[in-house]
Structure 1
């Protein structure tokens, strides 16, 4: 049985903690219900017996570290942004615990700003790592010997595993379960948790559905809602214009002003992104093309070639 030890710091984000903890807890249930031995025991350690989260909910923790072996995992959830003010600093002993666990053959992981704790422990030097997209430049500035990878969900380098913001901790934890128990078990855990899809670490932190939403046009948002929900279906510009309440010409102009592209180009971007996910999960190009609504794979191949895939 492996221990999964969460190091808790003041103002930690609940989802950073709960998302990953739920994965390992669900994995334990899946494995034991299948007749296997107990796989995980979750522990929580902190400097004080009670830690206040960023969301105002206090959580309880042990103040003494358990004995750890090479099969155990230590994970640091993120806290309300370290930013330039520095955020919570670890106690003198906490970086040592992280460093010594890794030196003993164990795995150390972080979610979001938890990467800064790994940096304080000297575990990022010379290694690939990532964090939330808003914090990547700060992480690179504070730890110049770290190889900060931008716009990925998680990285793994010599038993140092780092993930991006908030919900990406679920992706990281599912990846670790897949490494230890196989993709079928990780897939079962994802289904139990009603997670839409287990994403690869190299996938971008922000999907196309989010990247083109930083505008104030209600008409364009309504059309994007329609395309987001039905991008695999044939969509006609007159129908989209009716959805927005403006003319086709006005919609095309406003959509371009808001997103930098036409509505149908936006639909193609969504199709390409979803197809790349399916291909990354093992689908053929032909199967991915059919799944996202292309009549054949030639258009998908042209789009992938244009994107350098």
Structure 2
């Protein structure tokens, strides 16, 4: 019996990362690391660092980067990644950068920005009529200066058609992992994340900040102690009486402190922390029941109500959308 013909290997996807003077270094290196690691693990990627004219560029840190090519010399890339720079929200991008990014974007199958790189895509008209995000500090500026863009200020990354945008700095890793997962599947994306020792992967719709990070630091030591206890163990007993006893104050006084310094009730804050913990458990591959129990929300129904109230989706839908990988040893779980 004659041997079956073997399939020719797929041509590698070309990834072009556009560097320029003043670029934020981590915005460049984060996606470079993700795609280079994916290639080392067997993915068909060919990664190129380019600059508008092929000349050496100096990052915002003072680090000099030597590109592989000028933008004009590159064949049409599969993916163009435009990193950000601290000055982009305050002044228009240099004409050479805008011209190079626009020309490459027209020929690319997929275009992505990291952090304030969204301002380059916006100036090129690539985000008009699309949803997009950028660093939380500059989201209002992007929305004001480019009103045709629907800015989602709290998202880690956003995809609208062939264009992807991401939040600040380290979100370039999340964006890269999302693209690797789309190209090569969740197993390889997980391996890349493990190699880089990062969490796989913060869902695009997840807030740029955790509940503790977006909560103003309380003025009173009593309240700080209570919040730290909630954050460190969301599943513990955080009923009103238990929290008040821990703080050494009455339930009424604790409620007043929460209202004045946190802006919500103790119960609402506890639910927010537990809901976020459940999100992470679902993303890591836990079942809905396990996520409800381990987060402290208790039952599937309590988890469902909390998710619908805070996220507008059910836990099962959230897990189906973002839980693309399972925790080690979880094979066979429902």
Could you say what secondary structure the match of 1:165 adopts?
coil
- Cα distance in structure 2, aligned partners of 1:126 and 1:264: 39
1:86 matched to which residue of 2? 91
Contact 1:9–1:90 (CA under 8 A) maintained in structure 2: no
Could you say what secondary structure the match of 1:145 adopts?
coil
The one of 53, 60, 66 equivalent to 1:54 is 60
1:68 matched to which residue of 2? 75
* Deviation for aligned residue 1:260: 2.0
| Mean Cα deviation higher: 57-66 or 157-166 | 57-66
- Cα distance in structure 1, aligned partners of 2:244 and 2:255: 9
* Deviation for aligned residue 1:289: 0.6
Q: Does 1:146 pair with 2:149?
A: yes
| Mean Cα deviation higher: 137-146 or 163-172 | 137-146
The one of 113, 129, 132 equivalent to 1:129 is 132
Number of equivalences: 299
Contact 1:101–1:107 (CA under 8 A) maintained in structure 2: no
Could you say what secondary structure the match of 1:108 adopts?
strand
* Deviation for aligned residue 1:114: 0.2
- Cα distance in structure 1, aligned partners of 2:63 and 2:219: 34
* Deviation for aligned residue 1:252: 4.6
Q: Which has the higher contact order (CA 8 A, sep 6+)?
A: 1
Q: Does 1:23 pair with 2:34?
A: yes
1:4 matched to which residue of 2? 15
Q: Deviations along 1:160-183, whole A, 9 cap, x unmatched?
A: 111111221111110000011001
2:183 matched to which residue of 1? 180
Could you say what secondary structure the match of 1:55 adopts?
coil
* Deviation for aligned residue 1:20: 1.9
| Mean Cα deviation higher: 96-105 or 115-124 | 96-105
| Mean Cα deviation higher: 48-57 or 109-118 | 48-57
* Deviation for aligned residue 1:215: 4.3
Q: Deviations along 1:207-235, whole A, 9 cap, x unmatched?
A: 21211135444443343233222113334
Seen in structure 2, the aligned counterparts of structure 1 residues 305 and 73 have a Cα distance that, compared at 3 Å, is closer
Seen in structure 2, the aligned counterparts of structure 1 residues 22 and 298 have a Cα distance that, compared at 3 Å, is same
Could you say what secondary structure the match of 1:209 adopts?
coil
- Cα distance in structure 2, aligned partners of 1:20 and 1:222: 38
1:226 matched to which residue of 2? 229
- Cα distance in structure 1, aligned partners of 2:120 and 2:307: 38
The one of 240, 250, 263 equivalent to 1:260 is 263
Could you list the runs of 5+ residues in structure 1 that have no partner in the other structure?
A: none
* TM-score, normalisation: structure 2: 0.77
* TM-score, normalisation: structure 1: 0.83
Q: Does 1:112 pair with 2:123?
A: no
Contact 1:27–1:189 (CA under 8 A) maintained in structure 2: yes
Could you list the runs of 5+ residues in structure 2 that have no partner in the other structure?
A: 1-11, 314-334
2:174 matched to which residue of 1? 171
Q: Does 1:202 pair with 2:209?
A: no
Q: Does 1:41 pair with 2:47?
A: yes
* Deviation for aligned residue 1:118: 0.9
Seen in structure 2, the aligned counterparts of structure 1 residues 217 and 111 have a Cα distance that, compared at 3 Å, is farther
Could you say what secondary structure the match of 1:74 adopts?
strand
* Deviation for aligned residue 1:256: 3.3
| Mean Cα deviation higher: 234-243 or 144-153 | 234-243
Could you say what secondary structure the match of 1:299 adopts?
helix
Q: Deviations along 1:113-141, whole A, 9 cap, x unmatched?
A: 10111122221122222212222222223
Contact 1:128–1:149 (CA under 8 A) maintained in structure 2: yes
Could you say what secondary structure the match of 1:180 adopts?
helix
Contact 2:115–2:169 (CA under 8 A) maintained in structure 1: yes
Q: Does 1:276 pair with 2:279?
A: yes
Contact 1:209–1:228 (CA under 8 A) maintained in structure 2: yes
